[in-house]
Structure 1
Amino acid sequence: MRALPDTGGAGTALGLFALARLTGTLALAAVAWAGGRQPLALLGRSWDSLWYLGIATHGYGRTLHLGGGAIHSDLAFFPLYPLLVRALHEVAPLSGGACGLVVSWLAAGAAACGIHRCAALLYGRTVATVLVVLWGLMPHSVVLSMAYTEPVLTAFAAWALYAVLRRDWVWAGTLAALAGLSRPNGCAVAAAVLATAAREVVRLRGREVSHRLWTGAALAPLGWTAYVLWVGRRTGDVPGGYFAVQRRWGSTFDFGHGALRFVRHLLLHGDRFAFAMALVIVAAGVLLYALLLADRAPLPLLVYSGVLLLVALGGSGFFESKPRFLLPAFPLLLPLAHALVRTAKARPWHAAVVAGALAGLSFAYGAYLVVLARTPL
């Protein structure tokens, strides 16, 4: 599965990724305009985007008391993205929603470059380019065009993994810390750095370990840990305050019991189309991870994707959001990228049909999800 390292061609990959997302955004805009709605408002001010924009404008402190005892607090949302939006708003004559979109779009481009660099280092330029295009054409990749945090997490994660693969420990730890400040599942990046560092220490078998490795390992979990402890201090329960906030949102880690109950309900009674698609995407993620294991992918990619998959599968609540939680897990697409490259070499037209079908599904489902479904993302 390995190829000689080839880290060129990032510009081509970025261009194809931008074309994919621009086409998807235009398709969404056409559907929105046909329904009398504004596409930029939908992209910049939908669902969680409103919470992030509120934090960027007013800081933390908003709480909603809903029926059934649910209490939604903005402390559930990690701070890096709203800080970036606020910083841009201070220097640019743009609205909060526009600043959110600019931050997300720039982060998506940075993530595409980082993904390409990781894959090119391991498998060569062609696989890397296909991987980036596939990431931009997933059914739920519309999130990459919205004012959401997944592009920011993926950008820091991709470049952190690239640093790990090159054994640049300090950069890896720093970027992992920033990833941990961007989303709750950003802890997956720290896990990848720590697991790889631990294997390196074992490999050296008592020989002198570089201080840069220890520094990187110490930095990696700091972002995620610092925010969780800050929320705990603010709520008066240092070790458990953040997790109590999440429970009041209906989000807990129950090892998948809640998700299995919902799947049973979905199979027996049916529900909205977005839920069925979420089930298909999550099931595909499990299968792709098994293929990634079978292909003996590098440890950082396995740990990073595995933790993201574990968080998505093991968490209860918001089943429709699980595909979004898996969007940063770009290594899961490596088996597909290799298969598509092999198909393109043997049967170019078959590969073109597959790519076209993926693009059509991505653009149509993205427009449906944002404009028509009215389902929380």
Structure 2
Amino acid sequence: MAGLISGIGIPVLAFAVSRLALLLIGLLARDLAFVPEEYVWVYDERTWLDIWGVWDTGWFMSVMYNGYMIAVSTNPDTLSQANWAFFPLYPMMAYAVSELTGLSGYGALLVVPNLCFLAALIWIRAEAKALYGTASANWAVVFLCVMPGTHVFSSAYSEATFLLFIVGTLAMARKGHWLMTGCMAALAVLTKNFGVLLLAPMAVYFLQRNFTQPLSARNLISEFPGSGGRGELVRFAVSLVLPCLALGSFMLFLYFRAGDFLAFATIQSAWGRSMVLPIISLFSPLGPLVGNHGFTVYLWPNVIAAWVAVALCMALLLKRQWAHASFCIPGMVLLLSAGILSIFRLVLPLAPLWMVAGSFMAARPKLSWLLLLLILPAEALLMWGWALGWPIF
């Protein structure tokens, strides 16, 4: 009973305290520094709700209310952009909540991520406890609730939903529940496109569970179909098919809607995104030091987040968490190949990074408390900017 209480109580307490603190910071920002003429996002007359909606919130609302666009926008503020870039599951979930409860569409867009984040915290604590121990699990939960950018998990964005389905996929795969794994992975893919990278840790977990000898072509052939037998192999194969079907279905829909199977990717150029070498994104701050190009201060949170995420990817390798590393490392490569913009937000759902961070924090508690004292003001500043519409993400 004590384990159950701590498994739920600690995440609930961390969630409640951190969300209340963020709410107060947002309200204070609106009260002291708000300039209505410079703020274009107004989704609710109640300030305590309105502070959580900014930037991409409008795109999610457009999918929720109007479905996907047939052609790109001609509005000067969103010229050549389209909501094809935003995957359907999060706005669909919000629409269902709105219809079932009578909440406004914007209210539902806030309810979904907050419930998903709370559920993800509970699940992450359980997974981190199984992999790293109780103290590490508690630190992982606390870190997720106070880390710079954590306010996004409670905003009208899809990061919290993606976080839940990522940790769900990894947890189910580790336990060998392959059909549930496939369903979770399919839901992740329908939330963000790089959820398809979950196929890698699924395969790693399958091999670890079913093949006892060092992995090689000869051992795979000699032990085939593995200790789980053909039944588990079939269930694993089905689990791989489900997320592929999910992505393929959305791509087919986009082809009939927009005339492009990869519209979710090609439309990114309308936001100024283009493919670059990941190493260029990591070293982008050096540009102003060696050339004549400026580097806006708003990009620095993204650069810092990118380097921290890369370091934690290396930590996963040091901890021999092969399944988690097989997801996070390709994920970081993919994210960085699209440039440094929004990396700060996009790395937030990579649950394995924060679990391994919790393990290091548990091993060095005094240093970890000092770290918290440093990052709390950073997150307070970011929440302040979020409530005022700063172009951070």
TM (norm. structure 2) is 0.83
Give the Å deviation of 1:141: 1.3
> 2:372 maps to which residue?
355
2:180 — aligned with what?
171
Report the Cα offset of residue 234 of structure 1: 2.5
Cα 1:69/1:361, change in 2 over 3 Å: closer
Alignment partner of 2:305 out of 273, 278, 281: 281
Query: What residue number does 2:217 align with?
Result: none
How far did residue 8 of structure 1 move? Answer: 7.0
Q: What is the distance in 2 between the residues matched to 1:130 and 1:309?
A: 23
Shift of 1:198: 5.4
Distance apart, 1:69 and its partner CA: 11
Determine the C-alpha separation between the residues in 2 that align with 1:338 and 1:170.
30
Whether the aligned pair in 2 keeps the contact of 1:77 and 1:183 (CA below 8 Å) is: yes
**Alpha-carbon contact 2:129-2:136 (below 8 Å) kept:** yes
- Residues 7 and 121 in structure 1, CA contact (< 8 A), matched pair in contact too: no
Unaligned runs of 5+ in 2: 37-46, 213-219
Q: Which residue of 1 aligns with 2:224?
A: 206
- Which amino acid in 2 is paired with 1:9? S
Q: Does 1:132 align with 2:141?
A: yes
Question: What residue number does 1:326 align with?
Answer: 347
What pairs with 1:1-377 in structure 2 (closer than 5 Å)? 9-14=6-11, 15-36=13-34, 38-44=47-53, 46-61=54-69, 63-65=72-74, 71-197=80-206, 205-207=223-225, 208-209=229-230, 210=232, 211-238=234-261, 240-256=262-278, 259=281, 262-265=284-287, 267=289, 269-297=293-321, 299-316=322-339, 319-344=340-365, 347=366, 350-368=367-385, 370-372=386-388, 374-375=390-391, 377=393
* Secondary structure of the structure 2 residue equivalent to 1:251: coil
Alpha-carbon distance in 1 for matches of 2:338, 2:251: 17
Identity over the aligned pairs, expressed in percent?
23
One-letter code of the match for 2:391? Answer: T
**CA 1:89–1:277: 2 relative to 1, 3 Å:** same
Q: Quick check: 1:126–1:341 contact (8 Å CA) kept in 2?
A: yes
**Distance change >3 Å, CA 151–CA 109, structure 1 → 2:** same
Hey, what's the Cα distance between the residues in 1 that align with 2:362 and 2:85?
Answer: 41
Residue deviations 1:80-109 (CA, integer Å, cap 9, x gap): 011011111112232221111111111111
Matching residue of 1:3: none
Whether the 8 Å contact between 1:180 and 1:190 is mirrored in structure 2 is: no
Q: 3-state SS of the aligned residue for 1:84? A: helix
RMSD between superposed Cα atoms in Å: 2.7
What are the Cα deviations for residues 113-133 of structure 1, in whole angstroms up to 9, with x where unaligned? 121121112122221111011
Shift of the alpha carbon at 1:336?
3.0
Superposition TM-score, scaled by structure 1 size: 0.86
Aligned length: 362
Q: Distance in 1 between matches of 2:270 and 2:210?
A: 40
Given the superposition, is the C-alpha separation of residues 243 and 333 from structure 1 closer, same or farther in structure 2, using an over 3 Å criterion?
A: closer
Query: How far, CA to CA, are the matches of 1:65 and 1:184 in structure 2?
Result: 26
Letter in 1 for 2:337: G
Q: Which moved more, 1:58-67 or 1:205-214?
A: 58-67
Distance in structure 2 (CA, Å) of the matches to 1:339 and 1:199 = 25
- Alpha-carbon offset, residue 78 of structure 1: 0.3
Letter in 2 for 1:178: L
Native 8 Å contact 1:33 1:39 kept in 2? no
* Cα contact 2:84–2:267 (8 A) shared by 1: yes
* Structure (1 or 2) with the larger CA radius of gyration: 2
Q: Displacement of 1:152 after TM fit?
A: 0.2
